[in-house]
Amino acid sequence: MIDLKLLQKDFDTVSAKLIRKGVGAALIEKLKTKNEELKKAKSSFETLQALQNSMSKEFGIYKREGKDISELKQRVDANKIVINEALEIQRTCQEELENIAMSIPNMPDDNVPDGEDENDNIEIKKVLTPKEFSFTPKEHWELAEENGWIDFERGVKLATSRFSVSFGMGAKLERALINFMLNFNSKRGFEEVSVPALVNRTALEGTGQLPKFEDDLYKIDGQELFLIPTAEVPVTNLYQDEILSADELPKKMTAYTSCFRKEAGAAGRDTRGMIRQHQFHKVELVALSKPDESEVIFDEMVECASDILTALELPHRIVNLCTGDLGFSAAHTTDIEVWLPGQNQYREISSISNTRDFQARRAKIRFKDGNKNSIVHTLNGSSLAVGRTLVAIMENYQNEDGSIDIPEVLKPYLGM
C-alpha cells in the first residue's frame, strides 16, 4: 500500500507518480477527496480535543478554588460526546481512505522509463548469441508430440484447456530443472523453503493480489482459501505482522511451488503449448531487506536468474520495464526474456521486482531500526518458470531429426 502519511504530506508528488503508473484521473480525484475529508476530520477532532484539555484544566482550577462546577461539567460532558462522534468520523474516513488505497498500485521509481506497454520496455543487454540452424526450427508443441514428452490432449481430458501432462524425459527434465535451480539459488545464498499451495485472503492482500485481481485466482468454495498464483505470496507472508531484528536482514529465500492462475485477462493468447497455462511449476526468489540494501539485492536476483540461463546455455536478454508494463505491486521490474528459435523471438521467462515498502506496509512486516520500527523492503522474482525453461531447452537444443539434446549441467540430475 502506498504511504498514506506521504500522501497527506505531499499529495501532488504522489499523484504525479501514480499517473505515470496509469492510475486514472477519477481514482486520483477519489483519493484526493477522501484524503481531504480525513484531514478535515483530524483537524476537527484535534480542535475538540484541545478544547476538552482546556476545560479539564479549568475544571481543576474551579475545584481548587471552590467554584461552582455544574455548568462547566455540563460543557465538558457535552464536548465528550462530540469528541467521540468526531473520533468515529475520523476512524471512518481513515478506513475508507485505506480501502481506496488497497486498490491503488505502487508508485514507480523515478528511473523507470515512461511507456504504455511492453513495446516501450528498454533492452539493457543480450546474453549469449542465438544458434543458427541449418533447418527451420520447430515450435515446442511439435517437438513435445514427436518425442512423447508432453501430452496436451490428456491434460484437457483430465482438467480443461491450458493443462498438460508430462511423460518420460519431459517429466524427468522438469524435476531436474527444479533441483538444479534450487541448488543454484542455495549456493547464491538463498535459503530453501517449502510452503503451502493454499493461502488465506490476508496473505494475498499483503502481496497485492487482492482485492484487485480476485478474478484471476482459484478460490476454494466455502472457504477463504486460494490456490497460490506464485510462491511470492506464501514466502513473503512468512513474516507477515512481525517485527524482525536488524541482524536478521536481509532474508533471502528460494522456493519451488506449483502455481495456479485462471489467466482471465489472457483470452486468446498462447493457447497452444506451455507458455501460458493454468497450472505451472516455478522456482521463486524472495527477499526481505533494509531499505538501503534492496537495490543491491535486486541486482543479485537479476544476476542469479540470468546466470541459470547462461549455465543452461540459453540465449536471453535483460529488459527494463516501462511504467505501463509494471505489475501492481512493483516499483521497478527487470524482465529476463529467453530466445525461442521456433517462435523466432524472445519470451519472458523471469520477472524480478523491487516492491520497496509497498507489500511490507500491507503485510505489516517491520524491523527494529534503532529505537523505532521501520518497514522492510520486499523483492521477488522467478528463477525460473520451469515450463518455459523446458520450452526453451526443447527449441534451442533440437536437432533436424526432431530429437532433443540435453544441457550438460542437467545430465548429473538425470543420472547421465
Ligand-binding annotation for 162, yes or no, is: no
What region does 268 belong to: left with phi over 0, alpha with psi -120 to 50, or beta?
left
Of the residues 75, 175, 201, 276, only one is catalytic, namely 276
For 138, 207, 352, the CA distances from 101, given in Å and listed in that order, are 47, 14, 24
Ligand-binding annotation for 197, yes or no, is: no
Q: Is 175 a catalytic residue?
A: no
Ligand-binding annotation for 44, yes or no, is: no
Ligand-binding annotation for 263, yes or no, is: yes
CB half-sphere exposure, 238, CA atoms < 13 A: 18
Q: Is 276 a catalytic residue?
A: yes
Of the residues 20, 347, 366, 388, only one is catalytic, namely 388
Of the residues 351, 356, 366, 395, only one is catalytic, namely 351
Q: Is 154 a catalytic residue?
A: no
Ligand-binding annotation for 124, yes or no, is: no
Of the residues 98, 146, 242, 348, only one is catalytic, namely 348
Ligand-binding annotation for 92, yes or no, is: no
**Sign of the torsion angle spanned by Cα atoms 323, 327, 328, 330:** negative
For residue 63, give the amino acid letter.
K
Q: Decide: helix, strand or coil at residue 82.
A: helix
Of the residues 188, 261, 356, 366, only one is catalytic, namely 261
Ligand-binding annotation for 258, yes or no, is: no
Residue 362 near residue 391, CB atoms below 8 Å: no
Ligand-binding annotation for 284, yes or no, is: yes
| Start-to-end Cα distance in the chain | 49
Q: Is 348 a catalytic residue?
A: yes
Q: Tell me: cis bond preceding 384? Omega within 30 of 0 counts.
A: yes
Ligand-binding annotation for 194, yes or no, is: no
Ligand-binding annotation for 262, yes or no, is: yes
- Tell which residue, 224, 280, 226, 225, has the closest CA to residue 257: 280
For strand 191-192 and strand 251-260, is the pairing parallel, antiparallel, or unpaired? Answer: parallel
Q: Is 261 a catalytic residue?
A: yes
Ligand-binding annotation for 242, yes or no, is: no
Residue 184 near residue 171, CB atoms below 8 Å: no
Ligand-binding annotation for 406, yes or no, is: no
Annotated binding site: 230-232, 261-263, 284, 348-351, 380, 382
Catalytic residues: 261, 276, 348, 351, 388
Numbered residues of the known binding site for ATP:
261-263, 348-351
- Annotated binding residues for L-serine, written as ranges, equal 230-232, 261, 284, 380, 382
